[in-house]
């Protein structure tokens, strides 16, 4: 399972793992209630071309090591998981409901994505460079 042990993965633990589709991007999720047949936790997450749902840890992590971003107390965990449950099936959308935005909305009440902001700035920089080179 990687550097994070199963014992560390309590409900409400915020995780991220490197995306297998886009290695420069981190995939975000929140440990939910329950576990799979191996004892690994279920994880709430949203993927491109999919929707918000709770899956087995292995599907979330793609067998890679995860990073714990934040650990919530039991009350916070219950609140966050309920919020995620209320949005089950929400379609993934790059600028409105990507995995980081959904997790941060559930935890922080703010649907923001630092990765998206960096990507937009990088794209704008490339446009400026291209326009400057064309001049």
Report DSSP letters for 42-110, one per residue.
EEEE--TTSB-EEEEHHHHHTT---EEEE---HHHHHHHHHHHHHTTTPBPBTTTB-HHHHHHHHHHS-
- Kindly report, residue by residue over 4-21, the tens digit of the pLDDT: 888 889 999 999 999 888
Q: What is the pLDDT of residue 122?
A: 47
Residue 121, pLDDT above cutoff 50: no
pTM value surpassing 0.85: no
Average pLDDT over residues 58-63: 93
pLDDT of 126 > 70? The answer is no
pLDDT at 1: 47
Assess whether pLDDT exceeds 50 at residue 133.
yes
Residue 65 or 81, more confident: 81
Average pLDDT over residues 118-132: 54
| Per-residue pLDDT at 78 | 98
Query: What pLDDT is attached to residue 130?
Result: 64
At residue 129 the predicted structure's pLDDT band, cuts being 50, 70 and 90, is: low
Q: What strands, in cross-sheet order, belong to the sheet with 53-56?
A: 53-56, 41-45, 26-35, 14-18, 67-70
Q: Which residue has the higher pLDDT, 131 or 92?
A: 92
User: How many CB atoms sit inside 10 A of residue 101's CB?
Assistant: 22
Class for domain 6-134, per CATH?
alpha beta
pLDDT over 50 at 125, yes or no: no
């Amino acid at each position: 399972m990687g550097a994070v042990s199963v014992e560390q993965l309590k409900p409400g633990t915020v995780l991220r793992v490197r995306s297998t589709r886009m290695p420069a991007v981190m995939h975000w999720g929140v440990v939910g209630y329950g576990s799979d047949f191996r004892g690994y936790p279920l994880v709430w997450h949203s993927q491109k071309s999919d929707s918000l749902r709770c899956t087995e840890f292995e599907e979330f992590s793609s067998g890679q090591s995860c990073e714990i971003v934040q650990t919530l107390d039991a009350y916070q965990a219950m609140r966050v998981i309920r919020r995620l449950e209320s949005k089950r099936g929400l379609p993934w959308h790059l600028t409105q409901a990507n995995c980081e935005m959904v997790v941060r909305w559930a935890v922080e009440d703010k649907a923001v994505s630092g990765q998206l902001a960096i990507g937009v700035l990088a794209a704008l920089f490339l446009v400026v460079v291209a326009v400057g080179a064309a001049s």
